Amino acid sequence: MQQLTRLTTFPFLLTTALACSGCGEVVSTAPRIAVSRISHWSMPAAGPQIPAPRGLAFDSNGDLFVLDDAGRILVFDGAGTVKRHWSMPESDVGNPEGICLFQDGRIGIADTHYHRVVFFDRDGNVLTMHGELGEQPGQFVYLSAITQDSLGNYYVCEYGGNDRVQKFDVDGNFVVAFGGFGTDDGQFQRPMGIVWHDSLLYVADAINNRIQMFRDDGQFVRVLGPEADRPRLHYPYDLSAGTGGDLFAIEYGGNRVTQLDLHGNTLGTFGATGHGVGEFSTPWGLAVDSTGRIVVADTGNRRLVELQR
Amino acid sequence: MTALDVFRTAFPSPRRPLRRRDLLPIALFLAIFGGGCVALELAGFVLFVRPQAFFLTIAPVWIWWMFLAGATGLSPARANTALWIRFVMAAGFIVALAEPRAVRTSETLSVVYAVDVSDSVGTAAVDSALEFVARQVSEKPAADEAGLVLFGAEAVVELPPRITFPFDGVVTSQVRRDATNLSEALSMSAAMIPAENNGRIVLITDGTSTEGNVTSRLDELQARGISVDVLPVNYQYENEVWVERLELPQQVKLEQDYEASILISSLGETTSTLVLRENGRVLAKSAVALRPGLNQFSLPVRVDEPGYYEYQAAIEVPDGSDNLSQNNATENFLFVEGTGRILIVTAPGGDSREWQPLAESMRRDGRIVEQQDAFGFPDSPLALMPYDSIVFVNVPVNAFVPAQLRALQNAVRDVGLGFLMVGGPDSFGPGGYHRTPVEEVLPVSMDIEQQELLQKGALVIILHTCEFADGNTWGKRITNQAIRVLSGHDEVGVLVFDKESDAEQWLFRLTPAASFPRLVTLVNRARIGDMPTFATTMEMGLAGLNQSDATIKRMLIISDGDPSAPTNQLLDAFQQAKITVSTVTVSPHGESDTASMKRIADATGGTAYTPNNPAELPAIFVKEARTLKRSMIQETTISPQPGTPSSLLNSLDETPPLHGYVLTTLKPRAESVLLASNLETDSATTAAAPAPILARWKYGLGSTAAFTSDLTTRWGRDWLRWQNFDSAISQLMTSLSRVRKTAQLRLWTHISSGEAVIVAEDFSDSAQRPDGGFTELAAIVNGPDNFSATLSLQQVSPQRYEARLPLPGQGKYQVIVLGSGNGRTETTTGGFIVSYSAEYLRFRSDPIMLRQIQERTGGQLLTINSPADDVFGDRLPRSSTRPVFDWLLITLAILLPIDVGVRRVHLDWSLIRNSLFRRRTNIQQSTLGSLLVTKQQTDSQLESSRSELSIPQRTQPPSHLTTGSAEPTPRQLPQKNEPADAQSTTLAKLLAIKRQQQEDAGSQPDDQHDGNS
């Protein structure tokens, strides 16, 4: 009888063993995000360099605005063809990391290594720049991401020891700063992505491997996800709101896209480490358009990956 | 046995006549098997290398026949299953013997761009070529692959062919650029192309090759179907000036005037300035007019003192009259032998008290002593010729470049110079000489036997990607140097953000540095990526160091400083664990990066380095690694005791005490003159021998010694006051100094037609006799980059011998000629200087070679504006095959137990069914109950069967004795006593068969008996 018991429990043990064989890494048991077609878009060369894409943003026409590490802003049409591009005013020291298309038509760029926000018009003309190196209100160390709320206020993430989020009104006046460097609730280690949704800010706290929620007045709400079952993220570098009240995160360390609901439950994942189709290498940014199409800045592979759903 | 008998044995008669439906299985099998194989081959999925193996299809036919002829005792369903399994197994064997290969057809094109980065092409052309590559790759079809190979004197893979091309526009590979090897470039590029893909090489070069055979490579490319498209780098210099040769007199006498002859070539007519320098000092400078062709000039030289004089003739050309600056100067040297000298080498900026007592003692002994810091120490053994001995006084290894240490090694080993290392805190192991040429030269090793006296060190290095030219190569090189410095029992681990797995990981965990060769290989293979934070690698390193039993623990981080800084909690953990973290900030993005790195170092008690150029990095790493080795310094008072009996110091009184020394280990063949035998630490309890204080041995032709204490007021103050100090130093230096012999063998060298010509002349009187000369002359040539060659000199005229060497790369070469025979052995030394590579004598591209490469491989000629379609355009599907033998073996291995199982194992499906549906308790009980009932029934059946069968067997006499009847024993007897339902069980069937066989066996003798009676 004992033998029989062992026989019937064997499949269970085998399944458990197989499931545990991946322990130690972030192993996803979430379903795969349904993708009907994967396309690769090449980055145009910049001199002898094949630049790496970083920040992405869609406009209402479906055009994709891309920041790359050659200090360029490129505009791709829906088919992946470059319509136009222009360069940052300066990029010798380093290149920008965050982009946001403002409701009034301006393009806001987090000019990371120049410690400022640069505003362009849609033709690539510089409108204004504000910010300088420092840790006071309105000053920045390294800017990493920028987003805007429905009232026109905008929020800028920064890192470099002064890891925080600053809120500015539509005219660029400082409103509030929140966060700080650390691992406690409300603190950040390299906040790399930010998205505003329904009066709440979702911040990709990259090195702490979590997404934190704040009210738009800077009040900490909570870490996204049930405490006992937080989404397992590995360096979330960017966030984008989906069309169905969901969130998409791109994981620099996990090399995948993770879809979450607003409670932090993982709805699906897509991607693996590598150079092939359906694989990513240190992806930096992502954007989701109004049709649910996802584009990933596959930074290490120097390409954009379009995921049609 | 006839063939017919064999056939009948192999194909026995069937049990029953064949019916048409009996043919169905074999016909079906043959149709499926044969049809399947033919279809696979015709469809191009599989290729059978040995189709003759299909004659073995007779085997399944035999299996089928045996199935019909034999009695399996299985139910029809199981028998048929077993037959089909055997069919499949037989088919598997036949297919395996036919050597099937899976055919894969690919339309993917792999293009390798091979870019010539040699100096003849020039940096501007290389930049244009890389832009061409980047533009083409960004326009290529997404599914095609592109790779990048760079070549000069050798070829290196910058990026292997992949569908992605992560090229930052900066070459990270290191390539020697003073030569061109087209052959290796093509070979390396072809090797990178996957066999299953269409392959193409885009060759971007001027076509001038200074090394290798291109023609043979073209045949290989043709055979593989790889075409080479050529993008020529065209140039033809109309103006070029180069210094061909500087000729100096072969023999000079002091204080006499001679002439240096300078040969200069020019493509055009121009005026220039000719400069002659002696040991870096301008000797003469004059304006000269150059005509097209060869121009000869003479300038006076005069030597007033013996020594080594290096001359350089340089031409200064007006702008626009020249293209290659590398060929504008050439060097030669004069060596005038005189009284031997001693060279004391000290640490740059070091304290003169370190070496002055020693130098003064030598001078009191009448010796000529020169002092020089390590930076000025020659990097060629040629410049060491004037010296009899070299003395290193407390100078660390990081003050030298490797070429200087190799020059010392060559001079000691091959020329016979003496060498002495005097100790101090920066000497021997703490000075970083572990695993260096100097350690090889010395009579002591830096691997310490007295491990209990040493504190074990552990070093973790975090390597972040270095964003400057050759940054990662630098990072790897200096990491290797840091590991080299460590003692064998010290531990070292390296952490990186791996570019392939995109994750922080140990390149290797804390490992004893004794595994140096293996660790170097791992470091060189590292793929260093851009880590977003220091925290993860620092946590991993902290955990590793906490697990180590080392006494001294350190961490070293090299980075541009832009990863996120660690938290204060993590830095506190380092403090609590007493682990210092030193940081090296290279090419930071801004001040905040430097500040972030400094914060880490300050918080943990480490040092923050911000080198201004990469050349400073090795010294930093070596310095950090050396801090782990401080425990090799023993600052304790000892009275040196004599070791092995030695002629050295034997006439002197007992030596005074020393107040410190550096731990070393005596090498097996070395002579231990003085030993540290009475340590305050009780070394008697240790199994290891006492550490050497003064040791000596022969290394090659030279003698070397190690004095592990110092001669300053720090450790050797009692020696400085010792009345026999001068005598001791005198005896020591006498025993080490090179012994100069008057040689009749003279050596000349010159460069001619791409060869170094070595000429030796024997001026001895005996050489004039027919049998009095040397019978054997050999030349050893040592040069840069560990170059070494041995040549045999051939006699070209009476007393004159000659050897020729194809010109090696740029550098200074030492030549030692050894003559032996007829009771004479003589040595003489000389050398030659190769001022520049043949690469700098190419003044136009070679379009003929490029056309040959393109035409023979079926490639095309590209221009700098050629679109990507020209390269990634048309291609044919390419088929490749790979063996599938392994899969067949696995299939057969799986089928074999199934075959046995089907025939031998009876499964109780009701039991399995019930267990799957989880009616475990009831089922188990009912199953157990049914088993018991079955057992009881079987037992009773067997008992009754035995009782019925045993009576006639036991009581009946043998039938042939009692009856003459031929009638068989009635068979229905046991059958009618069996339960009717038992007929259906396997057990009952088996019993019935057994009984039948017993009866048949019992009745047969009766038959025979009856037949014979």
The pTM is what?
0.74
Residues in chain B within 8 Å Cβ distance of A131: none
| Of residues A43, A206, A282, nearest to B502 (C-beta) | A282
pLDDT tens figures, B565-579: 899 999 999 999 999
pLDDT tens figures, B204-240: 999 988 888 888 889 889 888 899 999 999 888 888 9
- CA-closest candidate to residue B176, choices B811, B926, B876: B811
- CA-closest candidate to residue A96, choices A124, A74, A116, A126: A116
| Residue B107 token pair | 């339309």
Q: Which of A113, A184, A282, A299 best tests the B interface by mutation, with the highest count of B CBs <10 A? A: A282
| Of residues A8, A133, A302, nearest to B165 (C-beta) | A302
Residues in chain A within 8 Å Cβ distance of B593: 160
Instruction: Judge: A8–B918 Cβ closer than 8 Å, yes or no.
Output: yes
Length of chain A in terms of residues written: 309
Helices (H), B664-776: 717-720, 725-736
pLDDT tens figures, A115-144: 999 999 999 999 999 999 999 999 999 999
Which of A14-28, B28-42, B835-849, B906-920 has the highest mean predicted lDDT (pLDDT)?
A: B28-42
| Residue B208 token pair | 């001038």
pLDDT tens figures, B44-88: 888 888 889 999 988 898 888 888 887 667 788 888 888 899 899
| Of residues B131, B137, B499, nearest to A47 (C-beta) | B131
What are the Cα distances from residue B58, in Å, to B10, B62, B87, B91, B437? 12, 6, 11, 11, 71
Contact between residue A246 and residue A261 where contact means Cβ atoms under 8 Å apart:
yes
Question: Residue A2's pLDDT is what?
Answer: 39
**Chain A: closest CA distance from residue B535 (Å):** 8
Q: With 50 as the cut, is the pLDDT of residue A20 above it?
A: no
**Chain B: closest CA distance from residue A45 (Å):** 5
Instruction: Judge: B532–A207 Cβ closer than 8 Å, yes or no.
Output: yes
Lowest-confidence pick of B94-108, B730-744, B919-933: B919-933
**Chain A: closest CA distance from residue B945 (Å):** 32
Q: How many other C-beta atoms lie within 10 A of the C-beta of residue A18?
A: 9
Residues in chain A within 8 Å Cβ distance of B591: 133
Q: Which residue is listed with tokens 């080490």?
A: B736
| Of residues B162, B170, B920, nearest to A275 (C-beta) | B162
| Of residues A4, A161, A275, nearest to B596 (C-beta) | A161
User: B15: pLDDT confidence band, cut at 50, 70 and 90?
Assistant: confident
Instruction: Judge: A273–B564 Cβ closer than 8 Å, yes or no.
Output: no
Q: With 50 as the cut, is the pLDDT of residue B154 above it?
A: yes
Instruction: Judge: A182–B499 Cβ closer than 8 Å, yes or no.
Output: no
Percent of chain B past pLDDT 90, that is, above it, reads 39
pLDDT tens figures, B634-664: 888 998 988 877 777 666 668 899 999 999 9
Residues in chain B within 8 Å Cβ distance of A94: 562, 589-590
Lowest-confidence pick of B67-81, B262-276, B773-787: B67-81
Length of chain B in terms of residues written: 1013
What's the sign of the alpha-carbon dihedral A169, A170, A173, A174? positive
| Of residues B133, B138, B589, nearest to A42 (C-beta) | B138
Strand duo B368-373 + B341-346: pairing: parallel
User: B23: pLDDT confidence band, cut at 50, 70 and 90?
Assistant: confident
User: A1: pLDDT confidence band, cut at 50, 70 and 90?
Assistant: very low
Name the residue of chain B whose CA is nearest to A237's CA. Answer: B532
What's the sign of the alpha-carbon dihedral B472, B474, B477, B483? negative
Mean pLDDT of chain A: 89
- What's the start-to-end Cα distance of chain A, in Å? 52
Sequence-separated (6 or more) residues with CB below 8 Å from residue B517:
none
| Of residues A7, A40, A273, nearest to B915 (C-beta) | A7
pLDDT tens figures, A174-189: 999 999 999 999 999 9
**Chain B: closest CA distance from residue A303 (Å):** 8
Helix (H, G, I), strand (E, B) or coil at B354: helix
The amino acid at residue A286 is L
| Of residues B502, B590, B595, nearest to A93 (C-beta) | B590
Long-range contacts of B397-401 (CB under 8 A, 24+ apart): B397/B431, B397/B432, B397/B433, B397/B436, B397/B438, B397/B485, B397/B622, B398/B432, B398/B618, B398/B619, B398/B622, B398/B623, B399/B347, B399/B348, B399/B373, B399/B374, B399/B375, B400/B374
Sequence-separated (6 or more) residues with CB below 8 Å from residue B267:
B237, B238, B239, B240, B241, B292, B843
Torsion, CA B740, CA B741, CA B745, CA B750, rounded to 10: 10
Distance CA(B523)–CA(B1006), nearest Å, equals 89
The amino acid at residue B933 is V
Instruction: Judge: A303–B138 Cβ closer than 8 Å, yes or no.
Output: no
pLDDT tens figures, A252-271: 999 999 999 999 999 999 99
Name the residue of chain B whose CA is nearest to A69's CA. Answer: B168
Strand (E) or helix (H) holding B289 = strand B281-290
The residue ranking higher by pLDDT, B799 or B187, is: B187
- CA-closest candidate to residue A96, choices A83, A87, A106, A105: A87
**Chain B: closest CA distance from residue A248 (Å):** 20
Residues in chain B within 8 Å Cβ distance of A159: 564
Residues in chain A within 8 Å Cβ distance of B141: none
User: Residue B704 pairs with which residues in a beta bridge?
Assistant: B419, B697
Q: With 90 as the cut, is the pLDDT of residue B423 above it?
A: yes
Helices (H), B193-304: 214-224
pLDDT tens figures, A194-206: 999 999 999 999 9
Instruction: Judge: B134–A48 Cβ closer than 8 Å, yes or no.
Output: yes
Distance CA(A86)–CA(A108), nearest Å, equals 14
Q: With 80 as the cut, is the pLDDT of residue B1005 above it?
A: no
User: Residue A219 pairs with which residues in a beta bridge?
Assistant: none
Contact between residue A294 and residue A286 where contact means Cβ atoms under 8 Å apart:
yes
Distance CA(B135)–CA(B871), nearest Å, equals 12
Question: Residue B514's pLDDT is what?
Answer: 86
Name the residue of chain B whose CA is nearest to A284's CA. Answer: B532
Q: What is the DSSP string of B15-34?
A: SS---GGGGHHHHHHHHHHH
| Residue B524 token pair | 């060189």
Strand (E) or helix (H) holding B82 = helix B76-97
Which of A294-308, B44-58, B514-528 has the highest mean predicted lDDT (pLDDT)?
A: A294-308
Contact between residue B745 and residue B825 where contact means Cβ atoms under 8 Å apart:
no
| Residue B820 token pair | 């032996």
Residues in chain B within 8 Å Cβ distance of A182: 567-568
pLDDT tens figures, B577-630: 999 999 988 878 777 788 889 999 999 999 898 887 767 776 777 777 667 666
Strand duo B341-346 + B329-336: pairing: unpaired
Residues in chain B within 8 Å Cβ distance of A113: 589-590
Buried-state track B537-563, b at ≥16 Cβ within 10 A, e below 16: bbbbbbebbeebebebbbbbbbbbbbb
**Chain B: closest CA distance from residue A229 (Å):** 22
Instruction: Judge: A189–B535 Cβ closer than 8 Å, yes or no.
Output: yes
- CA-closest candidate to residue B813, choices B761, B760, B757: B757
Sequence-separated (6 or more) residues with CB below 8 Å from residue A42:
A303, B138, B139, B140, B142
User: A89: pLDDT confidence band, cut at 50, 70 and 90?
Assistant: very high
Lowest-confidence pick of B333-342, B379-388, B619-628: B619-628
The residue ranking higher by pLDDT, B466 or A20, is: B466
- What's the start-to-end Cα distance of chain B, in Å? 31
| Of residues A4, A50, A301, nearest to B924 (C-beta) | A4
Name the residue of chain B whose CA is nearest to A190's CA. Answer: B564
User: B998: pLDDT confidence band, cut at 50, 70 and 90?
Assistant: low
Instruction: Judge: A7–B163 Cβ closer than 8 Å, yes or no.
Output: no
Instruction: Judge: B502–A252 Cβ closer than 8 Å, yes or no.
Output: yes
Instruction: Judge: A181–B127 Cβ closer than 8 Å, yes or no.
Output: no
Instruction: Judge: B142–A42 Cβ closer than 8 Å, yes or no.
Output: yes
Average pLDDT (B269-281) is 92
Q: How many other C-beta atoms lie within 10 A of the C-beta of residue B427?
A: 29
Q: Which residue is listed with tokens 């290095």?
A: B461
The residue ranking higher by pLDDT, B686 or B457, is: B457
B920-955 and B986-1012 helices, crossing angle to 10°:
10
Name the residue of chain B whose CA is nearest to A187's CA. Answer: B567
> For residue B943, is it left (φ>0), alpha (ψ between -120 and 50) or beta?
alpha
The residue ranking higher by pLDDT, B984 or B562, is: B562
Percent of chain B past pLDDT 70, that is, above it, reads 86
DSSP 3-state percent helix, strand, coil across chain B (nearest 5) = 40, 30, 35
The number of C-beta contacts closer than 8 angstroms across A and B is: 127
| Residue B915 token pair | 């267990």
| Of residues A39, A48, A302, nearest to B166 (C-beta) | A302
Contact between residue B254 and residue B307 where contact means Cβ atoms under 8 Å apart:
no
Q: With 60 as the cut, is the pLDDT of residue A51 above it?
A: yes
Question: Residue B588's pLDDT is what?
Answer: 81
Q: What is the DSSP string of B801-840?
A: EEEEEE--SSEEEEEEEEEEETTEEEEEEEEEEE-S-GGG
Backbone angles phi, psi at B72, to 5 degrees: -80, -25
Average pLDDT (B988-992) is 67
**Chain B: closest CA distance from residue A127 (Å):** 25
Residues in chain A within 8 Å Cβ distance of B865: none
Instruction: Judge: B503–A48 Cβ closer than 8 Å, yes or no.
Output: no
Helices (H), B119-160: 123-138
**Chain B: closest CA distance from residue A198 (Å):** 30
Q: How many other C-beta atoms lie within 10 A of the C-beta of residue A172?
A: 14
Instruction: Judge: A183–B501 Cβ closer than 8 Å, yes or no.
Output: no
Question: Residue B19's pLDDT is what?
Answer: 83
Q: Which of B113, B138, B559 best tests the A interface by mutation, with the highest count of A CBs <10 A? A: B138
User: A7: pLDDT confidence band, cut at 50, 70 and 90?
Assistant: very low
Distance CA(A109)–CA(B461), nearest Å, equals 36
ipTM of predicted complex:
0.86
Instruction: Judge: B130–A276 Cβ closer than 8 Å, yes or no.
Output: no
Residues in chain B within 8 Å Cβ distance of A161: 565, 592, 595-596, 599
Q: Which of B592, B908, B912 best tests the A interface by mutation, with the highest count of A CBs <10 A? A: B592
What are the Cα distances from residue B488, in Å, to B363, B445, B663, B957? 40, 11, 14, 92
What are the Cα distances from residue A209, in Å, to B464, B533, B655? 21, 12, 67
Residue B779 half-sphere exposure, CB side, CA atoms within 13 Å?
A: 30
Question: Residue B767's pLDDT is what?
Answer: 62
Instruction: Judge: B163–A276 Cβ closer than 8 Å, yes or no.
Output: yes
